[in-house]
Structure 1
Amino acid sequence: MTLFDPRTTALVMIDLQEANMTHDHLPHGSRGVLDKSLRLIAAAREAGSLLVHVRSSFLPNERDSLQPILIEKQRPANPVREPRWDELVPEVAPQPNEPVLVKRSWNAFHGSDLDVQLRRHGIETIVLIGMSTNWGVEGTARAAYENYYNIVFAEDAMSAATAEGHRHSVETILPLLGRVRSVDEVERAFGESAA
């Protein structure tokens, strides 16, 4: 039995953007996640699957981001960001028919048209990759589960600020939401489905 049907599968890439390349992630490292993501991007395109690029971005004063009451830590009024921090890394270069969505929270469904895009393309399964495992990927996965999507996680094409955060998500939360697989397994599934 194949892992998914590429005609009804989308590769959803979370925050493969400049900000995440300027600091390391664990356990796979930012460059390692990007390299493995590029393999899946190529495989998904070859198989004819939908690719959806998701990036985080805010107004300069970040008034459009979630502003929960945080006792221990308050956000600065005008945070200083690196130039181009919110741009997708050039290597992932979206093609004309690949949606690019902006998210302003951990959950890529919240406040975006991700669900509309997926449904209009007839998507039933999403393959999730990106940064960070226990924030953007897990936040999006929880919403995908609640919206009745089948989910596949490519474990080594995602990483977190700490190895413990990644491991907790991968071992405790993500298996309750979908199927956790390696990049090799997901890439092979795209290839088998495309054949």
Structure 2
Amino acid sequence: MAKNKDFKFVNEYGFDETALKQAFAEAREIYKERGFMRKMGYGKAPAITTVDMAKAWMSEGHVFTCDHAEEVCAEALKVLEAGRKAGVPIFHTTTGYIGEKQWDLPRWDEKIPMSKLDISDHWMEIDPKLNPQPEEPVIHKKYASNFFGTHLAQTLNYLGVDTLIVMGATACACVRHTVMDSTGYGFKTIIPEGTIGDRVPGVIEWNLFDMEAKFCDIEPVDAVVKYLEGIDASVYTKHSRLEDK
């Protein structure tokens, strides 16, 4: 880290983190005065979804690799393990396309190299740093949001879920669109701090600020873990149905 002439810390990219935090602090006050940034709070029946936490995003060596993925996975694992112990439904997603011709490849490939995401490649596996479990579904999506063109919303509604915890990559695209759709479908939506990845300095900070202002709550990981530890798995519709058999 280096210092500029105003003695503010600047990261290795020349990005002034202090100035950004100050700007966000001032903007938060403006938003709150106008009724934005309200708290959605926690519901009684949460689910967890990871967004593109496959190897292509969370491990080194791929064009989609995110910065600081090790730390992101470590924080996300704390939330996942708490959810597993409590019997909370967990859904992973990864974006990928089928076969050499990739007929399912969307126009999105005209902007970013989606053709590098072969659904049969090992890069599309959920990163082992998350310790994914066999009973946790992996939804193969074709676009940014975990909800767009998938069955996630219907499944969450069937289970009686009222709160969705979102973690993954990237802040500016797939996480953001997932959070917006989650709130749109009527779920309280929570992002645990430190569980979101991206590739460009400042993108995470800006998008978390803006999502917290309009679409979700940003909560400390420890607070989310404590919340999950208090969940009784009997709140879920499917659980009750299976118990009757």
* TM above 0.5: yes
Residues in 2 aligned to 1:74 and 1:132: alpha-carbon distance in whole angstroms: 13
Q: Which amino acid aligns with 1:47?
A: A
Aligned equivalent of 1:102: 140
Aligned equivalent of 1:48: 87
Superposed, which structure 2 residues align to 1:1-195 within 5 Å?
4-5=42-43, 8-20=45-57, 21-22=59-60, 25-26=66-67, 29-59=68-98, 60-68=100-108, 73=111, 79=116, 83-193=121-231
Q: Which amino acid aligns with 1:57?
A: G
Q: Per-residue deviation at 1:97?
A: 3.4
Residue deviations 1:68-117, cap 9 Å, x none? 595xx5759x6486941111122434434322211111111111111121
Instruction: Name the % identity.
Output: 19
The one of the two structures with greater contact order (alpha-carbon pairs below 8 A, sep at least 6) is 1
Tell me: CA distance 1:79–1:130, structure 2 relative to 1, closer, same or farther (3 Å).
closer
Q: Per-residue deviation at 1:144?
A: 1.0
Which residues of structure 1 form unaligned runs of 5+?
Answer: none
**TM-score between both structures, scaled by the size of structure 2:** 0.68
Which residues of structure 2 form unaligned runs of 5+?
Answer: 1-40, 233-245
Q: How many residues align?
A: 186
**TM-score between both structures, scaled by the size of structure 1:** 0.83
Q: Per-residue deviation at 1:65?
A: 3.0
> Is 1:5–1:193's contact at 8 Å kept on the other side of the alignment?
no
> Is 1:65–1:105's contact at 8 Å kept on the other side of the alignment?
no
CA RMSD of aligned residues (A): 2.5
> Is 2:95–2:117's contact at 8 Å kept on the other side of the alignment?
no
Task: Indicate the larger mover: 157-166 or 85-94.
Answer: 85-94
Task: State the structure with more CA Rg.
Answer: 2
Residues in 1 aligned to 2:140 and 2:224: alpha-carbon distance in whole angstroms: 25
